[in-house]
Amino acid sequence: MENNPILIPERKLSAFVVDVLSAVGVPTDDATIVADCLLTANLSGVDSHGVVRLAHYIRRLENGTIKARPHLTFTRTAPAMGLLDGGDGLGHVVAYHATTHAMDLAAEAGTSVVVVGNSSHFGMAGFYVLRMAEAGYAGVSMTATDRMLVPFGARKAFFGTNPICFGFPTDGIPVVLDMATTSIAWGKVALAAVEGHPIPDSWALDAQGNPTTDPRAVAGLHPAAGPKGSGLAMVIDIFCSLLAGMPWGPHINRMYAEMDAPRHLGHLIMAIDVNRFLPLARFKQNLAAMVQELTALEPAAGFDQVHYPGQLEGLQRAQRRATGIPIEAGLADELAQLGQRYHVPFPAS
């Protein structure tokens, strides 16, 4: 492979993901959900949650810590509430079905909350919120993850990066705020480690709880906005782990370091039927007016334009759908080797 990224059309890369997952026993419909989630991340420029994760999912599917054909059980606990047991399946599939249940409940009751247990890594949180926004719902998705965030005032990691996402429907690019509760994305640390670059000592802590400039020594990340991000990470763990009866914080199975057992992750999905407050068209008009005023603000020094949450990702999706998804050489090699194992040709540019 050349050092420059290769550009692969969305359709071809999606077919590759589906075929590889199918080769390890994942039903086609479920494999398509996973591919849609991964490709939405890549198209949005959130490459850390895209096809780079495929090889890891395959390893867990092979060793049985993720089940290719899980038994999902949904229990409606109230008119607008439900619990979904994911049966240790692929988190993308589990959360997709939780989102479907949430929208069905909200269509009937106006709003809904679905708590998920016995799941695994569910990819980009925004994938589920985008689906709800496209259907006319305001949505929330969040998940617990294994420890990486060092609570405010502590020296060692306790909570996960614990992402949370909010989304609202528009007639254009949906408003989507998708954020981790750490001040720096783990992907930036991982990239610095690969490239051999030091990181600022304000980014992270080592295993002894001391600031480090070595990306390979990082054992924890600071919370976003100090005590605010720290508290939000705890709240997300309460919603996703404790309500679902799942392990929390340091008791959650490590995604990459503890490969011999299921992860038992918890998520939460919420859907709100905008029409129950005012007509959806009027809501979209109001939101469009807000967005127009916001993006018309004079940009600060060093900025070309003020953007709203989700706008840059939406623009990126349009561009990459037209030009192809860039895949770095190292990842291309990994995917090509994965394809060879299962007799699935890796698509050329």
Cβ pair 349, 324 in contact under 8 A? yes
Rounded Cα–Cα distance for residues 237 and 256 (Å): 20
DSSP letter string, 92-135:
HHHHHHHHHHHHHHHHHHSEEEEEEEEE-----THHHHHHHHHT
Cβ pair 120, 263 in contact under 8 A? yes
Rounded Cα–Cα distance for residues 187 and 203 (Å): 12
Residue 344, amino acid: V
178-191 exposure pattern, b = at least 16 Cβ within 10 A, e = fewer: bbbbbbbebeebee
DSSP-H helix ranges across 170-226: 186-195
Give the pair of three-digit tokens for residue 27. 């039903």
Cβ pair 165, 179 in contact under 8 A? yes
Nearest CA to 18 among 71, 93, 73, 84?
Answer: 93
Q: Which residues have a catalytic role annotated?
A: 121
∠ CA 81-86-87, nearest 5°, is: 140
Residues constituting the chain: 349
In 3-state terms, what secondary structure has residue 258?
A: coil
